[in-house]
Amino acid sequence: MSHSILFNEFPKEYTSTIGVPGIFAKKCNRRVHLKDGTSGEMDSAYIADSDNRILFERVAVGLEHQSIPVGEKKLSKFGDYDIQLVVDEHLPTLLVVASHLNKNKSKNKLIRSPSDITQLYFLDLSEENISQRLSTLSKIIYNNQYLSQEMALNLGIIALYAPRERACEIMDTVVRLYLKIVEKLDLHMEYTLYSVITVLLDAFFDDEDEYRRLTKMMDDNTSQESQMRFASHESTIESLTYAEEDLAHARDDLAHVKDDLDKANGKIADLEAEVKRLTDELNGK
């Protein structure tokens, strides 16, 4: 959810700040037809233009946030994403993985044939990278230096990609930094950072007292408008989740009905052939 908030609210700044090659141009279709007959969605899909550094042509990008290593099953889905992007956009593709994990723990290449290969591009969002971002941002904030949109967005990125063994410690620092800058933020950035940090506090903290302490600090220093918008967004996400689950069940039911119908049609065809054979035999043919 936090990745989606960052991408949906600031797609150009977010993709640039985490280091995705190219320049964001526009969002595109995320829905994917999977090879098992079901459908799914990419975390983010968009068109990127050349940055004349790493990327030298327009491409269709599939950007996935991963909190666990990419295994065989997920790699197969990346292959489906790759095919869908080509079908939809008629462009070369770039499949990007954004994760705090070491890329060596993940599968990175799917070979369907010698000429049909999906190669994943992993961003460097390691503990060292996140620590460096936190150090730079802290110096800017405590020295009251100019805070660009990209640098402010780093607060959400630091929270999202914090190494899990240090997540609570880092989130405490993130909240304190947020409190120092929140009055300087426009409403759009305030809503975005408040939403991301609130979601991740809930995800990372098992200690209820610490969780309540930090969320209260966030709530006490954030505008009611941002809090109400987040609450509405959360409610919509919950409703969407239930609707998607119901849709998935309905599609499964439909798939079973189609299987039964195919079997019935096959049986009918066999019986029709048998009736014809026996009729021909009866008529001496």
pLDDT band at 242 (very low <50, low <70, confident <90, very high): very low
Average pLDDT over residues 226-230: 91
Residues 187-208: pLDDT tens digits? 999 999 999 999 999 999 999 9
Last residue of a domain, one of 122, 157, 182: 122
User: What was the pLDDT predicted at 119?
Assistant: 94
pLDDT higher than threshold 60 for residue 248 = no
- Whether 142 maps to a domain, the answer reads yes
Q: Which among 111, 130, 176, 95 has a CA at the least distance from the CA of 17? A: 130
pLDDT band at 271 (very low <50, low <70, confident <90, very high): confident
The chain-wide mean pLDDT, for the chain, equals 89
Q: How many percent of the chain have pLDDT more than 90?
A: 74
Last residue of a domain, one of 222, 247, 262: 222
User: What was the pLDDT predicted at 272?
Assistant: 85
- Whether 236 maps to a domain, the answer reads no
Cα 279 from Cα 218, distance rounded (Å): 82
- Whether 59 maps to a domain, the answer reads yes
User: What was the pLDDT predicted at 1?
Assistant: 84
- Whether 233 maps to a domain, the answer reads no
- Whether 243 maps to a domain, the answer reads no
Total structural domains within the chain:
2
**pTM of the entire predicted model:** 0.80
Question: Both 92 and 133 in a single domain?
Answer: no
Question: Both 72 and 131 in a single domain?
Answer: no
Average pLDDT over residues 141-150: 94
Residues of the domain holding 75: 20-122
